[in-house]
Amino acid sequence: MRNSREIKVGSIFLGGKNEVAVQSMCSSKTGDIKRTLSQIHQLQEKGAKIIRIAVDNKEDVKSLKEIRKETDANLSVDLQENYVLAKDVAPYVQKIRYNPGHLYHIEKEKSVKDKVKELVQIAGENDCAIRIGVNFGSLDPSLRKNGENSGDIAIKSASEHVEIMESLGFKDYLVSLKSSDPYGVIKINEQFSKLYPFVPLHLGVTEAGMLPMGEIKSRVAMEYLLSKGIGDTLRVSLTVPFDEKYQEIAVGNQIIEDVKNGKFLPKDAYKTTGLNIISCPSCSRVQTDKLVDLAKSIKEATSFAKDESFTIAVMGCRVNGPGESDDADIGVWCAPNFVNLKVRGNLQGSFSYDEIVNVVVKELRNLINE
């Protein structure tokens, strides 16, 4: 059994011999304090041990301060493109998540090492843990080389940041390596855990999508990894309506329980062939409140092609939208009044919410007829 380093995240410990902790992320706008608090309560009631919130600007920071006053939940802040907000949010949270693929957006003259150094100092001063969150949909562009596969780049990126943490003597960190392909998640997490057995791991299949497939994909990766002793915390990422966000926690806890009891998915429950629809779980950054309906409509309208082996990505914003669309046959990502469309990595333009489903169907028919 793997024995990772124990780290503290607010009132809980992760890694070492501790129970695997289930976590989730709010899908509400962080600025909507009431709605965010209601989702935090919904998730806590189901047993969430850590709850992540996106913070992208000073207004979000103000909202976070108010949210903090009303909850004792272990909060994690998700910093994507604006890492400099870390110093403002750290006093109110127990964990900071940064994505190595998004550190380049601002202060381009500063080295990655210096940026991480700053994050580490802030985390240390505020008793926060750090998650290095590597995602196939938003890999560090400076590591992308022609022909290199996403898994290798993800490992390289995570390793680079682990080495920085270790060189700085900072120990309260963990790593996540996420992909929308469950077998990709298995491969990179197994590989990484051999390279760095002491680093706690946060497991997740990103954009696992709607139920029941979102659960099945998560189970494929998590059942395997947990049964090998790999994984210290996990998030099941589901495209579900606001009121059903608790399902992420319920499913996560059930997976852990089932693995303990030796209960696994039947071998034929997940096929790597046939139409694969990935969709994001939504968060504060989502550009529309129609995301769940859009994902459902695309799923229904493309069901005629369920046996065709194509991937369609339905994403809520541009953070992971363009990247996931590059890896899909057809990818859409939302803007407030239109939806962007890529086919095989080529931007086709933007379409209204009323027309996008028909356009996706047309493009899918074209791919089938090619």
Tell me which stretch binds ligand SF4 (CB under 6 A): 148-156, 176-184, 249-257, 278-286. Answer: 278-286
Nearer to ligand SF4, 292 or 317 (CB): 317
74 or 282: CB nearest ligand SF4: 282
Q: Of the ranges 2-10, 185-193, 274-282, 341-349, which one interacts with ligand SF4 (CB under 6 A)?
A: 274-282
Q: Pick between residue 120 and residue 131 the one whose CB is nearest to ligand SF4.
A: 131
Stretch that binds ligand SF4, among 30-38, 224-232, 261-269, 277-285 (CB under 6 A): 277-285
Rank residues 12 and 211 by Cβ distance to ligand SF4 and give the closer one: 211
CB of 342 to ligand SF4, least distance (A): 14
Which DSSP category does 298 fall into? H
The only residue of 76, 282, 288, 302 in contact with ligand SF4, by rule CB under 6 A: 282
Torsion of CA 215, 217, 220, 226, to 10 degrees: -60
Residue nearest to ligand SF4 (CB): 316
Pick the piece of the chain touching ligand SF4 (CB under 6 A) from 144-152, 216-224, 263-271, 275-283: 275-283
Select from 233, 236, 235 the least CA-distant residue to 211.
Answer: 236
Helix then strand count (H, E) for the chain reads 11, 15
Q: Measured from the CB atom, is 4 or 239 closer to ligand SF4? A: 239
C-beta closer to ligand SF4: residue 86 or 226? 86
- Quote the CA–CA distance of 201 and 189 in Å, as a whole number: 8
Largest CA distance in the chain: 59
CB atoms within 10 A of CB 151: 18
State yes or no: cis peptide before 322, omega within 30 of 0.
no
**Residues in region 308-347 near ligand SF4 by CB under 6 A:** 315-317, 319-321
Q: Find the shortest distance in angstroms from Cβ 333 to ligand SF4.
A: 7
Q: How far apart are CA 231 and CA 235, in angstroms?
A: 11
DSSP 299: H
Min dist CB 29 to ligand SF4, Å, is 11
**Residue 286 touches ligand SF4, criterion: CB under 6 A:** yes
> Contacting ligand SF4 (CB under 6 A), which of 97, 219, 245, 285?
285
User: Token pair 């600025």 is at which residue?
Assistant: 31
On the 0-12 / 13-18 / 19+ scale of CB atoms within 10 A, 346 is exposed
Rounded (5°) CA angle 88-73-321: 65
Of 103, 108, 107, 100, the closest CA to residue 131 belongs to 100
The residues of the shown chain that bind ligand SF4, judged by CB under 6 A, are 280-283, 285-286, 315-317, 319-321
